[in-house]
Homo-oligomer: A and B are copies of this chain.
Amino acid sequence: MVNFNKACSSFAAAVLEYDTNKIVHIKSKKVGAINRIIQLAIIGYVIGYVIIYEKGYQSSSVGLSSVTTKLKGTALTNLSIKFPVTVDGKNESGTIFDGPRIWDSSDYVIPPEENDAVFVMTNMIITPRQKQGKCPEDDQYVQARCVLNNNGSDCTEGEEVITGHGIMTGECVKLDRPRTANDTYNGMCEIYAWCPVEYDVLPMPGTNSGYLLKKDKCLLQQAINFTILIKNTVQFPSFGVRVRNINDNQNKSYLTRCQYSSDKENRLCPIIKLKTIFDEISDTAFEDAAIKGGIVAIRIKWDCNLDHDISDCLPHYSFSRMDNADALIAKGYNFRFATYDVENNTQYRTLIKAYGIRFVILVDAKAGKFDIIPLLRNLGAGLALLSVATVMCDICVLYLLKKKYFYRNKKYQYVDDPDASTSEDETKTEERPDRDQYENMND
């Protein structure tokens, strides 16, 4: 038992110890001043910037967002779409778009809903009453141009018109539209297609698209007055908090009256006029985007400090053009869609090449709340920077000051390899005491 106690006690003696760096404590006004100034700068940076400004005392979390949109507004057009077309050898014409016509959100929002995006059609090329049949290809396709009565040698049966509307029957038939190029052709290859094929020219003055528009105007000019209602809910599951861009404290009529603008009073209204969006995007005009199409980002930024009241957590909207408004090629945005119907056992479709503005809603939501862990981590990492002060002072003291040799001797304890003389000089002195150094050390 005595032995065990003794062993225990000597084990404790061997284990219960600790190592700490030997510090040279230098009293020097110049260097000390440098040291304190750097330390103050670092502490100021850590406390002021990292902890307070960057909210280093909070743990932060990214929010899960859900966005829905609703467009309101109507546009009135006065179209008359008639052009001579040839299907299966017979002349036909579609006139369903005659007269005044109202476009509401069910007409111009395509598809009716998307995830985090919404498309507003502002301009279009309508090709009504297409049906399956044989008809001449549009004459912009050089590959399908032919000379009539040439025994059809220009058109190969079964060949596809590249990027065109269909597959050739092998016949060469009369053009059913004005010829656009000056080449030597007077016919177009007949193709299996949805007939008549689309006449892919934006409705501009002087074109034959059937409906004439003023220069630099889109079809749905009233689109600039459409409003977009954005409903955005953000969840922060780690904090158990949910915020919304529509305030329950506001009374119901607020949503029928208000309209977003960047001033203080209206910047929380979730109803945004398209005109407001394009006014805030400085580098592009509504007309440019509306005629050829474009992509606009609506960014909603949430930066919530959950240490404050939840009602202070408010969204911030900003707008920018995503695509390049100044692009020389492949400019704008459009896509084609069709609606189908059947009459007398024949399927018809109305093809629309839709130009318009695609709004992409990007939600960037984060929230922070006091947490001891990041506070300690930031304090620790920040204070570790204090060693920078020591490094700067060391440089100063050891290399710049006049008395640098004095300080070097204080900071460094020089130890020579005791074997060095042996190995190098081939003499057999076991240890070289290098007394100078040790005397230096004790000055």
Q: CB within 8 Å of B: which residues of A?
A: 9, 12-13, 15-36, 64, 66, 68, 70, 72-74, 76, 95-97, 99-102, 104-107, 110-117, 119, 128-129, 132, 160-161, 163-167, 191-194, 222, 225, 227, 231, 233, 235, 237, 242, 244, 246, 248, 250-252, 254-256, 270, 295, 297, 320, 322-324, 327-330, 333, 335-343, 345-351, 354, 358, 360, 362, 389-390, 393-394, 397, 402-403, 406-407, 410-420, 423-424, 431, 433, 438, 442-443
Residue of B nearest to A271 (CB): B163
Could you say which residues of chain B place their CB within 8 Å of the CB of A76? 166-167, 192
Instruction: Please list 30 pairs of residues, one from A and one from B, whose beta carbons are closer than 8 Å in the complex, sorted by A's number.
Output: A15-B32, A16-B30, A16-B31, A17-B26, A17-B27, A18-B36, A26-B415, A27-B415, A29-B424, A66-B323, A66-B360, A68-B358, A70-B335, A76-B192, A96-B346, A102-B191, A104-B165, A106-B336, A106-B349, A110-B113, A111-B113, A113-B337, A114-B114, A115-B115, A163-B256, A235-B320, A246-B327, A340-B350, A341-B342, A410-B415
Q: Of B20, B295, B419, which is within 8 A of A24 by CB?
A: B20
CB distance from A273 to the nearest CB of B (A): 11
CB distance from A179 to the nearest CB of B (A): 20
Contact between A21 and B18 (Cβ–Cβ < 8 Å)?
A: no
Nearest 7 A/B pairs, CB to CB: A16-B32, A18-B35, A112-B337, A341-B341, A28-B417, A22-B22, A66-B322
Contact between A165 and B390 (Cβ–Cβ < 8 Å)?
A: no
Contact between A225 and B412 (Cβ–Cβ < 8 Å)?
A: no
- Complex Cα–Cα for A191 and B101 (A): 11
CB distance from A377 to the nearest CB of B (A): 11
Q: Of B193, B248, B330, which is within 8 A of A328 by CB?
A: B248
- Complex Cα–Cα for A322 and B21 (A): 56
Contact between A406 and B418 (Cβ–Cβ < 8 Å)?
A: yes
Q: Of B115, B167, B345, B413, which is within 8 A of A410 by CB?
A: B413
- Complex Cα–Cα for A394 and B165 (A): 79
Contact between A389 and B18 (Cβ–Cβ < 8 Å)?
A: yes
- Complex Cα–Cα for A338 and B328 (A): 36
Contact between B423 and A29 (Cβ–Cβ < 8 Å)?
A: yes
> A255-B330, A340-B341, A343-B342 are contacts. A74–B22 as well, Cβ < 8 Å?
no
